[in-house]
Amino acid sequence: MHVAPAQPAPPPAPRTRAARPDWERVRADFPILDQQVHGQPLIYFDNAATSQKPRAVIEALRRFYERDNANVHRGIHELSNRATAAYEAARARVAQFIRARSAEEIIFTRGTTESINLVAHAWGHANLKPGDVILLTELEHHSNLVPWQLLAQRTGARLAFVPVTGDEAELDLSKLDALLSPPVKLFAMVHISNSMGTVNPVADLCARARQRGVVTLVDAAQSAGHMPLDVQAIGCDFLAFSGHKICGPTGIGVLYGRAEILENLPPWQGGGEMILSVQYHRTEFKKPPHRFEAGTPDISGPIGLHAAMDYLDALGREHIWQHDQELAHYAYERLAALGNVRLFGPKVGRAGLVSFLLNDVHAHDVVTLADRAGIALRGGHHCTQPLMRRLGIESTARASFYFYNTRAEVDRFIEVIREIQKFFAR
Ligand code: 7TS
Protein backbone atom coordinates (compact mmCIF):
# COMPACT_ATOMS: atom_id res chain seq x y z
CA MET A 1 0.00 0.00 0.00
CA HIS A 2 1.28 3.40 -0.87
CA VAL A 3 0.87 6.28 1.54
CA ALA A 4 0.58 9.78 0.13
CA PRO A 5 3.43 12.05 1.16
CA ALA A 6 2.68 14.55 3.91
CA GLN A 7 1.28 17.83 2.64
CA PRO A 8 3.57 20.73 3.42
CA ALA A 9 1.79 23.76 4.85
CA PRO A 10 1.97 26.69 2.44
CA PRO A 11 4.59 29.29 3.31
CA PRO A 12 3.34 32.85 3.87
CA ALA A 13 2.50 34.82 0.72
CA PRO A 14 5.44 36.76 -0.73
CA ARG A 15 5.56 40.50 -0.13
CA THR A 16 4.75 42.57 -3.19
CA ARG A 17 7.66 44.39 -4.76
CA ALA A 18 7.42 48.12 -4.28
CA ALA A 19 8.40 49.35 -7.72
CA ARG A 20 6.26 48.85 -10.80
CA PRO A 21 7.97 46.55 -13.28
CA ASP A 22 9.36 47.92 -16.52
CA TRP A 23 6.68 46.38 -18.74
CA GLU A 24 8.59 46.95 -21.98
CA ARG A 25 11.45 44.83 -20.61
CA VAL A 26 9.03 42.18 -19.38
CA ARG A 27 7.94 41.63 -23.01
CA ALA A 28 11.38 40.22 -23.78
CA ASP A 29 10.55 37.24 -21.51
CA PHE A 30 7.92 36.13 -24.08
CA PRO A 31 9.61 34.80 -27.21
CA ILE A 32 6.28 34.47 -29.07
CA LEU A 33 5.59 38.21 -28.96
CA ASP A 34 8.60 38.95 -31.14
CA GLN A 35 7.13 38.07 -34.53
CA GLN A 36 5.29 39.47 -37.52
CA VAL A 37 1.79 38.36 -38.51
CA HIS A 38 0.68 39.18 -42.07
CA GLY A 39 3.74 41.41 -42.35
CA GLN A 40 2.87 43.45 -39.21
CA PRO A 41 4.23 43.21 -35.65
CA LEU A 42 2.00 40.85 -33.66
CA ILE A 43 -0.33 42.54 -31.19
CA TYR A 44 -1.75 39.81 -28.98
CA PHE A 45 -5.07 40.97 -27.50
CA ASP A 46 -6.67 37.55 -26.92
CA ASN A 47 -5.44 37.00 -23.39
CA ALA A 48 -8.86 36.16 -21.96
CA ALA A 49 -8.79 33.06 -24.20
CA THR A 50 -5.25 32.09 -23.25
CA SER A 51 -2.11 33.91 -22.14
CA GLN A 52 1.35 33.61 -23.63
CA LYS A 53 4.14 31.80 -21.77
CA PRO A 54 7.35 33.34 -20.44
CA ARG A 55 10.70 31.64 -20.99
CA ALA A 56 10.78 30.65 -17.28
CA VAL A 57 7.74 28.40 -17.80
CA ILE A 58 8.99 26.92 -21.07
CA GLU A 59 12.34 26.20 -19.37
CA ALA A 60 10.70 24.58 -16.32
CA LEU A 61 8.86 22.16 -18.63
CA ARG A 62 12.02 21.41 -20.58
CA ARG A 63 14.03 20.82 -17.39
CA PHE A 64 11.41 18.43 -16.04
CA TYR A 65 11.37 16.30 -19.20
CA GLU A 66 15.15 16.40 -19.59
CA ARG A 67 16.00 15.53 -15.97
CA ASP A 68 13.17 14.42 -13.71
CA ASN A 69 10.37 12.79 -15.73
CA ALA A 70 8.75 9.82 -13.95
CA ASN A 71 5.31 8.93 -12.63
CA VAL A 72 4.31 10.36 -9.26
CA HIS A 73 3.34 8.73 -5.95
CA ARG A 74 4.35 5.27 -7.23
CA GLY A 75 8.03 4.54 -7.55
CA ILE A 76 10.53 4.68 -4.78
CA HIS A 77 13.29 5.38 -7.25
CA GLU A 78 15.08 8.70 -7.44
CA LEU A 79 13.30 10.14 -10.49
CA SER A 80 9.87 9.24 -9.17
CA ASN A 81 10.73 10.84 -5.84
CA ARG A 82 11.85 14.01 -7.61
CA ALA A 83 8.74 14.14 -9.79
CA THR A 84 6.51 13.57 -6.74
CA ALA A 85 8.29 16.25 -4.73
CA ALA A 86 7.94 18.75 -7.60
CA TYR A 87 4.26 17.87 -8.11
CA GLU A 88 3.46 18.31 -4.40
CA ALA A 89 5.57 21.47 -4.15
CA ALA A 90 3.41 22.94 -6.94
CA ARG A 91 0.31 22.11 -4.91
CA ALA A 92 1.72 23.92 -1.87
CA ARG A 93 2.61 26.87 -4.11
CA VAL A 94 -0.99 27.08 -5.39
CA ALA A 95 -2.22 27.13 -1.78
CA GLN A 96 0.11 30.05 -1.12
CA PHE A 97 -0.89 31.77 -4.39
CA ILE A 98 -4.57 31.91 -3.40
CA ARG A 99 -3.96 31.95 0.37
CA ALA A 100 -5.63 28.63 1.11
CA ARG A 101 -5.06 27.32 4.63
CA SER A 102 -3.40 24.14 3.41
CA ALA A 103 -2.20 22.29 0.33
CA GLU A 104 -4.83 19.65 1.09
CA GLU A 105 -7.43 22.12 -0.14
CA ILE A 106 -5.88 22.17 -3.65
CA ILE A 107 -7.00 19.65 -6.30
CA PHE A 108 -5.33 19.56 -9.70
CA THR A 109 -7.71 19.29 -12.66
CA ARG A 110 -7.50 19.93 -16.40
CA GLY A 111 -8.84 23.46 -16.03
CA THR A 112 -11.71 25.62 -14.81
CA THR A 113 -14.23 23.57 -16.77
CA GLU A 114 -13.15 20.31 -15.20
CA SER A 115 -12.98 21.88 -11.72
CA ILE A 116 -16.63 22.98 -11.99
CA ASN A 117 -17.69 19.59 -13.36
CA LEU A 118 -15.93 17.92 -10.41
CA VAL A 119 -18.01 19.97 -7.94
CA ALA A 120 -21.20 19.31 -9.90
CA HIS A 121 -20.57 15.56 -9.77
CA ALA A 122 -19.05 15.06 -6.32
CA TRP A 123 -20.85 17.76 -4.32
CA GLY A 124 -23.96 18.01 -6.47
CA HIS A 125 -24.97 14.37 -6.39
CA ALA A 126 -24.33 14.08 -2.68
CA ASN A 127 -26.25 17.23 -1.73
CA LEU A 128 -29.08 18.05 -4.14
CA LYS A 129 -32.59 16.69 -4.24
CA PRO A 130 -35.63 17.49 -6.39
CA GLY A 131 -36.84 21.07 -5.90
CA ASP A 132 -33.48 22.43 -4.70
CA VAL A 133 -32.16 25.54 -6.44
CA ILE A 134 -28.73 26.32 -7.91
CA LEU A 135 -28.26 30.08 -8.12
CA LEU A 136 -26.05 31.47 -10.92
CA THR A 137 -25.69 34.89 -12.51
CA GLU A 138 -26.67 35.92 -16.04
CA LEU A 139 -22.97 36.59 -16.73
CA GLU A 140 -21.78 32.99 -16.58
CA HIS A 141 -19.46 31.35 -19.08
CA HIS A 142 -20.95 28.12 -20.46
CA SER A 143 -18.57 26.16 -18.24
CA ASN A 144 -20.29 27.57 -15.14
CA LEU A 145 -23.74 26.94 -16.60
CA VAL A 146 -23.91 23.71 -18.60
CA PRO A 147 -22.56 21.46 -15.79
CA TRP A 148 -25.32 22.82 -13.51
CA GLN A 149 -27.97 22.25 -16.20
CA LEU A 150 -26.82 18.63 -16.48
CA LEU A 151 -26.83 18.26 -12.70
CA ALA A 152 -30.31 19.81 -12.47
CA GLN A 153 -31.60 17.35 -15.07
CA ARG A 154 -30.14 14.43 -13.14
CA THR A 155 -31.26 15.50 -9.66
CA GLY A 156 -34.52 17.37 -10.25
CA ALA A 157 -33.00 20.62 -8.97
CA ARG A 158 -33.57 23.84 -10.93
CA LEU A 159 -31.54 26.91 -11.85
CA ALA A 160 -32.15 30.57 -10.94
CA PHE A 161 -30.20 33.63 -12.04
CA VAL A 162 -29.09 36.96 -10.60
CA PRO A 163 -29.98 39.41 -13.42
CA VAL A 164 -27.67 41.93 -15.12
CA THR A 165 -28.53 45.58 -15.59
CA GLY A 166 -28.11 45.95 -19.38
CA ASP A 167 -25.14 46.87 -21.59
CA GLU A 168 -23.09 47.82 -18.52
CA ALA A 169 -23.50 44.18 -17.48
CA GLU A 170 -23.36 44.75 -13.75
CA LEU A 171 -25.28 42.46 -11.43
CA ASP A 172 -28.59 43.80 -10.16
CA LEU A 173 -28.23 42.83 -6.51
CA SER A 174 -31.46 44.46 -5.33
CA LYS A 175 -33.22 41.10 -5.08
CA LEU A 176 -30.23 39.01 -4.02
CA ASP A 177 -31.50 38.27 -0.52
CA ALA A 178 -34.79 36.97 -1.91
CA LEU A 179 -32.91 34.95 -4.54
CA LEU A 180 -30.72 33.41 -1.83
CA SER A 181 -33.62 32.12 0.25
CA PRO A 182 -34.46 28.41 0.61
CA PRO A 183 -34.40 26.06 -1.23
CA VAL A 184 -31.18 27.54 -2.71
CA LYS A 185 -28.29 25.18 -1.95
CA LEU A 186 -25.45 26.54 -4.10
CA PHE A 187 -24.50 29.97 -5.46
CA ALA A 188 -21.92 29.70 -8.31
CA MET A 189 -20.66 33.02 -9.66
CA VAL A 190 -18.10 34.34 -12.07
CA HIS A 191 -15.49 36.67 -10.53
CA ILE A 192 -14.63 38.57 -13.73
CA SER A 193 -16.88 38.27 -16.78
CA ASN A 194 -14.84 37.11 -19.78
CA SER A 195 -17.19 38.73 -22.28
CA MET A 196 -17.98 42.03 -20.49
CA GLY A 197 -15.11 42.78 -18.09
CA THR A 198 -17.44 43.12 -15.08
CA VAL A 199 -15.76 42.54 -11.71
CA ASN A 200 -18.22 41.00 -9.27
CA PRO A 201 -18.02 41.72 -5.51
CA VAL A 202 -17.44 38.06 -4.71
CA ALA A 203 -16.48 38.51 -1.03
CA ASP A 204 -19.78 40.30 -0.38
CA LEU A 205 -21.78 37.77 -2.42
CA CYS A 206 -20.18 34.83 -0.60
CA ALA A 207 -20.76 36.46 2.81
CA ARG A 208 -24.45 36.93 2.03
CA ALA A 209 -24.72 33.33 0.81
CA ARG A 210 -22.89 31.98 3.86
CA GLN A 211 -25.30 33.76 6.24
CA ARG A 212 -28.05 31.66 4.67
CA GLY A 213 -26.08 28.42 4.69
CA VAL A 214 -25.67 28.43 0.90
CA VAL A 215 -22.50 26.82 -0.50
CA THR A 216 -20.49 29.06 -2.87
CA LEU A 217 -18.29 28.52 -5.91
CA VAL A 218 -16.25 31.27 -7.56
CA ASP A 219 -15.19 30.95 -11.20
CA ALA A 220 -11.84 32.75 -11.07
CA ALA A 221 -10.73 31.88 -14.62
CA GLN A 222 -10.33 35.58 -15.48
CA SER A 223 -9.16 36.89 -12.11
CA ALA A 224 -6.46 34.42 -11.02
CA GLY A 225 -3.19 35.74 -12.37
CA HIS A 226 -4.63 39.22 -12.94
CA MET A 227 -5.12 40.30 -9.31
CA PRO A 228 -4.15 39.08 -5.84
CA LEU A 229 -6.58 36.33 -4.75
CA ASP A 230 -7.31 35.33 -1.18
CA VAL A 231 -9.83 32.53 -0.78
CA GLN A 232 -10.09 33.14 2.96
CA ALA A 233 -10.93 36.82 2.45
CA ILE A 234 -13.41 35.91 -0.31
CA GLY A 235 -14.89 33.30 1.99
CA CYS A 236 -15.92 30.90 -0.79
CA ASP A 237 -16.31 27.14 -0.44
CA PHE A 238 -14.93 26.37 -3.91
CA LEU A 239 -12.84 28.36 -6.39
CA ALA A 240 -11.74 27.30 -9.87
CA PHE A 241 -9.15 28.53 -12.34
CA SER A 242 -7.03 27.44 -15.33
CA GLY A 243 -3.23 27.45 -15.59
CA HIS A 244 -3.15 28.42 -19.26
CA LYS A 245 -4.73 31.84 -18.65
CA ILE A 246 -2.06 32.79 -16.09
CA CYS A 247 1.12 32.10 -18.08
CA GLY A 248 1.09 28.36 -17.28
CA PRO A 249 0.66 25.39 -19.63
CA THR A 250 -2.64 24.18 -21.07
CA GLY A 251 -4.18 21.08 -19.52
CA ILE A 252 -3.68 22.04 -15.88
CA GLY A 253 -6.23 23.70 -13.63
CA VAL A 254 -7.08 24.09 -9.98
CA LEU A 255 -10.05 23.46 -7.77
CA TYR A 256 -9.81 24.94 -4.30
CA GLY A 257 -12.23 23.39 -1.83
CA ARG A 258 -12.60 24.33 1.82
CA ALA A 259 -11.18 21.42 3.87
CA GLU A 260 -14.39 20.86 5.86
CA ILE A 261 -16.36 20.39 2.64
CA LEU A 262 -13.80 18.26 0.77
CA GLU A 263 -13.46 15.94 3.74
CA ASN A 264 -17.01 14.67 3.28
CA LEU A 265 -17.15 14.58 -0.53
CA PRO A 266 -17.28 11.26 -2.36
CA PRO A 267 -14.87 10.73 -5.27
CA TRP A 268 -16.04 11.63 -8.77
CA GLN A 269 -13.71 9.41 -10.82
CA GLY A 270 -12.30 6.06 -9.80
CA GLY A 271 -8.95 4.49 -10.65
CA GLY A 272 -5.35 4.36 -9.53
CA GLU A 273 -3.76 6.97 -7.26
CA MET A 274 -6.99 7.80 -5.40
CA ILE A 275 -7.24 4.60 -3.35
CA LEU A 276 -5.90 3.35 -0.02
CA SER A 277 -6.89 -0.26 -0.51
CA VAL A 278 -8.97 -2.11 -3.07
CA GLN A 279 -10.84 -5.40 -2.82
CA TYR A 280 -12.89 -6.98 -5.57
CA HIS A 281 -16.12 -5.56 -4.18
CA ARG A 282 -15.13 -2.44 -2.28
CA THR A 283 -12.50 0.27 -2.04
CA GLU A 284 -11.18 2.55 0.65
CA PHE A 285 -10.30 5.97 -0.71
CA LYS A 286 -7.48 8.36 0.08
CA LYS A 287 -8.14 11.65 1.80
CA PRO A 288 -8.53 14.87 -0.20
CA PRO A 289 -6.97 16.07 -2.40
CA HIS A 290 -5.72 12.71 -3.74
CA ARG A 291 -9.22 11.21 -3.54
CA PHE A 292 -10.11 13.50 -6.46
CA GLU A 293 -7.08 12.81 -8.67
CA ALA A 294 -7.64 9.38 -10.24
CA GLY A 295 -5.03 8.00 -12.64
CA THR A 296 -1.71 9.44 -13.72
CA PRO A 297 -2.16 13.20 -13.45
CA ASP A 298 -0.71 15.92 -15.64
CA ILE A 299 2.70 16.09 -13.94
CA SER A 300 4.52 18.65 -16.05
CA GLY A 301 1.45 20.94 -15.87
CA PRO A 302 1.75 21.74 -12.14
CA ILE A 303 5.51 22.16 -12.57
CA GLY A 304 4.97 24.69 -15.36
CA LEU A 305 2.23 26.34 -13.34
CA HIS A 306 4.60 26.62 -10.36
CA ALA A 307 7.07 28.54 -12.55
CA ALA A 308 4.21 30.75 -13.81
CA MET A 309 3.05 31.64 -10.28
CA ASP A 310 6.63 32.48 -9.25
CA TYR A 311 6.95 34.63 -12.36
CA LEU A 312 3.69 36.52 -11.70
CA ASP A 313 4.52 37.12 -8.05
CA ALA A 314 7.96 38.43 -8.95
CA LEU A 315 6.15 41.06 -11.04
CA GLY A 316 3.51 41.61 -8.35
CA ARG A 317 -0.16 40.90 -9.00
CA GLU A 318 -1.20 44.33 -7.68
CA HIS A 319 0.94 45.87 -10.41
CA ILE A 320 -0.49 43.54 -13.06
CA TRP A 321 -4.03 44.43 -12.00
CA GLN A 322 -3.29 48.15 -12.14
CA HIS A 323 -1.61 47.86 -15.56
CA ASP A 324 -4.42 45.77 -17.10
CA GLN A 325 -7.09 48.14 -15.78
CA GLU A 326 -5.27 51.20 -17.06
CA LEU A 327 -4.99 49.71 -20.55
CA ALA A 328 -8.66 48.69 -20.53
CA HIS A 329 -9.84 52.14 -19.44
CA TYR A 330 -7.63 53.80 -22.01
CA ALA A 331 -8.94 51.50 -24.77
CA TYR A 332 -12.55 52.05 -23.60
CA GLU A 333 -12.21 55.86 -23.65
CA ARG A 334 -10.56 55.86 -27.06
CA LEU A 335 -13.18 53.51 -28.55
CA ALA A 336 -15.97 55.68 -27.09
CA ALA A 337 -14.35 58.77 -28.64
CA LEU A 338 -14.46 57.19 -32.12
CA GLY A 339 -18.29 57.33 -32.20
CA ASN A 340 -20.64 54.71 -33.66
CA VAL A 341 -19.27 52.15 -31.20
CA ARG A 342 -21.49 50.22 -28.80
CA LEU A 343 -19.48 49.42 -25.69
CA PHE A 344 -20.30 46.71 -23.18
CA GLY A 345 -19.43 46.25 -19.54
CA PRO A 346 -19.01 48.79 -16.74
CA LYS A 347 -17.72 52.29 -17.51
CA VAL A 348 -15.60 52.32 -14.37
CA GLY A 349 -13.93 49.54 -12.43
CA ARG A 350 -13.65 47.21 -15.41
CA ALA A 351 -11.16 44.39 -15.67
CA GLY A 352 -8.50 44.27 -18.41
CA LEU A 353 -10.66 43.89 -21.49
CA VAL A 354 -12.99 45.82 -23.81
CA SER A 355 -16.01 44.33 -25.54
CA PHE A 356 -17.65 46.30 -28.35
CA LEU A 357 -19.57 46.40 -31.62
CA LEU A 358 -19.09 48.81 -34.50
CA ASN A 359 -22.44 49.97 -35.87
CA ASP A 360 -23.44 47.87 -38.90
CA VAL A 361 -20.27 45.74 -38.84
CA HIS A 362 -20.30 42.10 -37.75
CA ALA A 363 -17.84 41.28 -34.95
CA HIS A 364 -16.27 38.57 -37.12
CA ASP A 365 -15.48 41.15 -39.83
CA VAL A 366 -13.78 43.35 -37.24
CA VAL A 367 -11.68 40.42 -36.03
CA THR A 368 -10.78 39.28 -39.57
CA LEU A 369 -9.66 42.75 -40.65
CA ALA A 370 -7.75 43.30 -37.39
CA ASP A 371 -5.94 40.00 -37.96
CA ARG A 372 -4.72 41.27 -41.33
CA ALA A 373 -3.14 44.15 -39.41
CA GLY A 374 -1.41 41.67 -37.04
CA ILE A 375 -3.87 42.18 -34.17
CA ALA A 376 -5.31 39.09 -32.45
CA LEU A 377 -8.84 39.85 -31.17
CA ARG A 378 -11.74 37.54 -30.50
CA GLY A 379 -15.22 37.88 -31.97
CA GLY A 380 -18.25 35.82 -31.09
CA HIS A 381 -20.42 34.96 -28.12
CA HIS A 382 -17.36 34.19 -25.95
CA CYS A 383 -19.15 31.11 -24.54
CA THR A 384 -21.82 33.37 -23.01
CA GLN A 385 -24.68 32.81 -25.46
CA PRO A 386 -27.53 33.39 -22.97
CA LEU A 387 -25.96 36.72 -21.93
CA MET A 388 -25.64 37.79 -25.58
CA ARG A 389 -29.32 36.95 -26.11
CA ARG A 390 -30.24 38.84 -22.95
CA LEU A 391 -28.49 41.94 -24.40
CA GLY A 392 -30.17 41.44 -27.79
CA ILE A 393 -26.95 40.70 -29.66
CA GLU A 394 -25.23 37.65 -31.15
CA SER A 395 -21.64 38.54 -30.58
CA THR A 396 -19.11 41.21 -29.68
CA ALA A 397 -15.51 41.94 -30.65
CA ARG A 398 -13.16 41.70 -27.68
CA ALA A 399 -9.67 42.96 -26.95
CA SER A 400 -8.30 41.43 -23.73
CA PHE A 401 -5.05 42.61 -22.21
CA TYR A 402 -2.23 41.31 -20.06
CA PHE A 403 0.82 42.92 -18.50
CA TYR A 404 2.97 42.53 -21.64
CA ASN A 405 0.59 44.71 -23.66
CA THR A 406 1.34 48.40 -24.06
CA ARG A 407 -0.40 51.73 -24.66
CA ALA A 408 1.36 51.92 -28.02
CA GLU A 409 -0.38 48.66 -28.98
CA VAL A 410 -3.73 50.13 -27.92
CA ASP A 411 -3.00 53.21 -30.06
CA ARG A 412 -2.30 50.98 -33.06
CA PHE A 413 -5.48 48.98 -32.33
CA ILE A 414 -7.55 52.20 -32.32
CA GLU A 415 -5.97 53.27 -35.62
CA VAL A 416 -6.93 49.91 -37.16
CA ILE A 417 -10.50 50.12 -35.77
CA ARG A 418 -10.79 53.59 -37.33
CA GLU A 419 -9.65 52.17 -40.68
CA ILE A 420 -12.24 49.37 -40.37
CA GLN A 421 -14.95 51.95 -39.69
CA LYS A 422 -13.88 53.93 -42.79
CA PHE A 423 -13.80 50.76 -44.89
CA PHE A 424 -17.39 49.89 -43.98
CA ALA A 425 -18.60 53.50 -44.33
CA ARG A 426 -17.68 53.55 -48.02
N1 7TS B 1 -14.88 30.65 -16.94
C2 7TS B 1 -14.54 31.81 -17.50
C3 7TS B 1 -14.98 33.09 -16.87
C4 7TS B 1 -13.78 31.82 -18.66
O5 7TS B 1 -13.43 32.98 -19.21
C6 7TS B 1 -13.37 30.59 -19.24
C7 7TS B 1 -12.62 30.54 -20.54
C8 7TS B 1 -13.72 29.41 -18.58
C9 7TS B 1 -14.50 29.47 -17.45
C10 7TS B 1 -13.30 28.08 -19.07
O11 7TS B 1 -11.92 27.89 -18.92
P12 7TS B 1 -11.19 26.59 -19.49
O13 7TS B 1 -9.76 26.87 -19.31
O14 7TS B 1 -11.68 25.43 -18.70
O15 7TS B 1 -11.60 26.49 -20.93
N16 7TS B 1 -12.78 31.68 -21.33
C17 7TS B 1 -12.45 31.80 -22.64
C18 7TS B 1 -12.60 32.99 -23.35
O19 7TS B 1 -13.03 34.04 -22.89
N20 7TS B 1 -12.21 32.79 -24.62
O21 7TS B 1 -11.79 31.52 -24.74
C22 7TS B 1 -11.95 30.90 -23.52
Which protein residue's CA is at the shortest distance from atom 20 of ligand 1?
49
Residue 236 falls in the annotated catalytic set: no
- Give which of 345, 368, 378, 304 is closest to 50, Cα–Cα: 378
Q: Would you tell me how many other CB atoms lie within 10 Å of the CB of residue 232?
A: 11
Question: Ligand 1 center to residue 383 CA distance, Å?
Answer: 8
Which protein residue's CA is at the shortest distance from atom 22 of ligand 1?
49
Q: What is the pLDDT of residues 38-79, one digit of tens each?
A: 999 999 999 999 999 999 999 999 999 999 999 998 778 999
List CB contacts of 268: < 8 A, sequence separation 6 or more.
118, 121, 122, 292
Residue 15 confidence (pLDDT) above 60: no
Set out the domains of the chain in order of their start, with CATH numbers.
40-45+316-424 (3.90.1150.10), 62-313 (3.40.640.10)
Ligand 1 site residues (CB inside 6 A) read 48-49, 111-113, 141, 143-144, 190, 194, 219, 221-222, 242, 382-383
- Give which of 33, 48, 58 is closest to 249, Cα–Cα: 58
Identity of the amino acid at 126: A
Q: What is the pLDDT of residues 200-242, one digit of tens each?
A: 999 999 999 999 999 999 999 999 999 999 999 999 999 999 9
pTM of the model: 0.96
| Residue of 206, 236, 247, 383 marked active site | 383
Q: What is the pLDDT of residues 323-363, one digit of tens each?
A: 999 999 999 999 999 999 999 999 999 999 999 999 989 99
How, if at all, do strands 133-137 and 43-44 pair? Answer: unpaired
- The mean of the pLDDT values for the chain is 95
Q: What is the pLDDT of residues 251-280, one digit of tens each?
A: 999 999 999 999 999 999 999 999 999 999
Question: Ligand 1 center to residue 134 CA distance, Å?
Answer: 21
Nearest ligand 1 atom to alpha carbon 245: 13
Q: What is the pLDDT of residues 159-172, one digit of tens each?
A: 999 999 999 999 99
